A and B are shown apart, each in its own frame.
Chain A
Amino acid sequence: MNSETERFASAAIANAPFGFLIAGPDGAVLSQNRKSEEILGSLIGKNMGSIVSAFDVAGSCRDCLAGQKTIEVKEAAWNGKYLKFFFVPADGSACTVIVEDITEAKTVEKNREQFFMVASHDLRTPLAAIKASAELIMKAYSNDIQNENAKKLIANIDLASVRLIKIVSDFLEAPRLEAGRIAVTKERFDVAETIRKAVGDLAIIATNKGISLSYDAPRDPLPAVFADKEIVEQVIVNLIGNALKFTFQGGVTVSSAADDGMMRVRVTDTGVGIAEQDQQMLFGKFRQTDENFIGRGITQGSGLGLYISELLVGMIGGSVVLEKSDLGKGSTFVFAIPLAK
């Protein structure tokens, strides 16, 4: 490296978004950049091992230098933080230590685990009860039911519960879902058909509540979307389902329009609306660490479905947002789906 390149390298290290230190074989710090000072405090002239007690710093330096290999410390809890370290051999007598503060990622991970624990219980239990009840009726009381249509309807309940349990199981594979590793099969399709089907399936709920549910379909055919059909169907059903749940007079209207490369499906209700302070929590990533809050608050409201919807929508390159909500007047959610090119 010429002197100019060296100067650039030094500046880059000084301003790097990760902690960078140079330490001797016993862990004595010879140099450190700004970020490392932010994370660990000022360490120049001190032994890193005497400050960071979460693991054997001197041992890591020694192993790094003796083996001339990179030593990774994936996670060290220290001073209320979670840190990740790399010890990289610089030359025979000093090693470079790269440190990253992973506290936020750990918090998200912990909250995710809590969320899935709650979801696992709250969703699976009633589903298991539905399935077991339908199976018990078919197994033990089938002869008591004379009407063939009634038998078919019970079989439908069983089939639907199996399908729901499958969907829930897919959701609960949290790491795969959040890492975007679930199988997403994108195809071209007409979202109007999906909306009509969802409206048809959920019409019974509206009828039973004495409210309206309609699809304000455009006259001209809509351009095709390019997305995973099951995900789109699931999110639309969830949005309409939520709207119906919180609407007690008037009704729910679904509309669709294409603009700016996206198909926007609007679900508007004349329901109870969402208070401004609660709007912040709707799509929250469950950052709250109080388990009781999550258990009693979110899963009984609309947070769970919307959280899942947001995760799913992210996988198809779409978005779901609360466009507006007035307490006592109703809400409008917009689900944007990429159009086919």
Chain B
Amino acid sequence: MATIFMAEDDPLMVSIYSQIFKLDNFDFAMAADGQEAVEKLAAMPVKPDLAVLDVMMPRKDGFEVLKFMKADATLKNIPVIILTNLSSQEDLKKGLDLGADACLVKSQNSPEDIAAKAREVYGKYHSK
């Protein structure tokens, strides 16, 4: 079963996403902040098939986690979706420039929209 890794500091949202992804037959792994995400991703013997990273997190933000992933040979090919609170073009561009496959503004996308994007991005990679 494919695994989705999510870094998000709001336990409420983690609970929602875990339910949605489990209903889609994904395994779900998570980290509650950026530092924990980096440590867990590095330690996972089998790497996830997709990562969803919130930008605003304690200790390390989502962009730093993304940079870490792109600099690591075992993580750099994992597709990444960045979730931001800001709809500024600058923020969205930063995510894409750093190598994210998609950047979504949380306030403009429901959890179901974000899960649909995750399925789409995963599907693209899976069919490659």
Partners in one complex: yes
Write the nearest CB–CB distance from B14 to chain A, whole angstroms: 10
> Which segment of B43-51, B60-68, B103-111, B120-128 sits at the interface?
B103-111
Is A131 touching B110 in the complex (CB atoms < 8 A)? yes
- Residues of A within 8 Å of B111, CB to CB, are 128-129, 132
Please tell me if the beta carbons of A117 and B16 are within 8 angstroms of each other in the complex. Answer: no
Closest residue of chain B to A121, judged by CB?
A: B85
CA–CA, A128 to B112, complex, Å?
Answer: 10
- B-facing residues in A175-220 (Cβ within 8 Å): none
- Whether A125 lies near B112 (C-beta < 8 A) is no
B13 at interface, CB cutoff 8 A: yes
- Bound together, the chains give a CA A136 to CA B56 distance in angstroms of 26
**What residues on A are CB-neighbors of B23 within 8 Å?**
136, 140
Since A125-B13, A132-B111 are in contact, a sample of 17 more A-B pairs with Cβ atoms closer than 8 Å, ordered by chain A residue number, is: A121-B56, A121-B85, A124-B106, A125-B10, A125-B12, A125-B106, A128-B13, A128-B106, A128-B110, A129-B12, A129-B15, A131-B110, A132-B20, A132-B112, A136-B16, A140-B19, A172-B107
- Contact digits for B69-112, partner A, Cβ 8 Å, 1 yes 0 no: 00000000000000001100000000000000000001100111
Structural contact, B107 and A133, CB atoms closer than 8 A: no
- Distance to closest chain B CB from A119 (angstroms): 10
CA distance A133 to B14 in the complex (A): 12
In the complex the two chains form, is B85's CB within 8 Å of A135's CB? no
By a CB distance below 8 angstroms, the chain A residues around B106 are 121, 124-125, 128
Verify if A126 is at the interface (C-beta below 8 Å from B). Answer: yes
Q: How far is the CB of A187 from chain B (nearest CB, A)?
A: 31
Residues of A within 8 A of B (CB): 117, 120-121, 124-126, 128-129, 131-133, 135-136, 140, 172
Query: In the bound complex, how far is the Cα of B20 from the Cα of A121, in angstroms?
Result: 21
| Count of inter-chain pairs, beta carbons less than 8 A | 40
**The residue from B16, B85, B86 contacting A133, defined by CB atoms under 8 A apart:** B16
A172 to B12, CA, bound (A): 22
Please count how many residues in chain B sit with their CB below 8 Å of the partner chain's CB atoms: 16
The 10 closest A-B pairs by CB, nearest first: A132-B111, A129-B12, A132-B16, A124-B107, A121-B85, A120-B107, A140-B23, A129-B16, A136-B19, A128-B110
Known: A129-B13, A135-B112. A117 touches B85 (CB 8 A): yes
A124's closest neighbor in chain B, by CB?
Answer: B107
Q: Complex: how many Å from CA A129 to CA B20?
A: 12
A selection of 28 A-B contacts at a CB cut-off of 8 Å is: A117-B85, A117-B86, A120-B85, A120-B107, A121-B56, A121-B85, A121-B106, A121-B107, A124-B106, A126-B12, A128-B13, A128-B106, A128-B110, A128-B111, A129-B12, A129-B13, A129-B16, A132-B16, A132-B20, A132-B112, A133-B16, A135-B112, A136-B16, A136-B20, A136-B23, A140-B19, A140-B23, A172-B107
Please name the residue on chain A nearest to B16 by beta carbon. Answer: A132
Contacts of A129 in B (CB 8 A): 12-13, 15-16, 111
Task: For residue A132, give the distance in angstroms from its CB to the closest CB of chain B.
Answer: 4
Q: Which residue of B lies closest to A140 (CB)?
A: B23
A217-B80 Cα distance, complex, nearest whole Å: 58
Contacts of A124 in B (CB 8 A): 106-107
Give the residue name and chain of the B residue nearest to A136 (CB). B19
Name B14-66 residues within 8 Å CB distance of A: 15-16, 19-20, 23, 56
Contacts of B85 in A (CB 8 A): 117, 120-121
Chain A residues with Cβ below 8 Å from B56 are 121
Chain A positions within 8 Å of B86 at CB level: 117
The docked-state distance in angstroms from the alpha carbon of A53 to that of B13 is 49
CB distance from A294 to the nearest CB of B (A): 14
Q: A131: nearest residue on chain B (CB-CB)? A: B110
**Complex interface: chain A residues within 8 A of B112 (CB):** 132, 135
Cα(A129)–Cα(B106), bound, Å: 12
Once the chains are docked, how many angstroms separate the CA of A128 from the CA of B85? Answer: 13
Task: Using CB atoms, name the residue of chain B closest to A118.
Answer: B85
The interface residues of chain A lying within 8 Å CB-to-CB of B107 are 120-121, 124, 172
With a cutoff of 8 Å between Cβ atoms, the chain B residues found around residue A136 in the complex are 16, 19-20, 23
Q: Would you give the shortest CB distance from A252 to chain B, in whole angstroms? A: 28
Give CA–CA (A136, B19) in the complex, Å: 8
Cα separation A90 to B64 with both chains bound (whole Å) = 56
Closest to B23 in A: A140
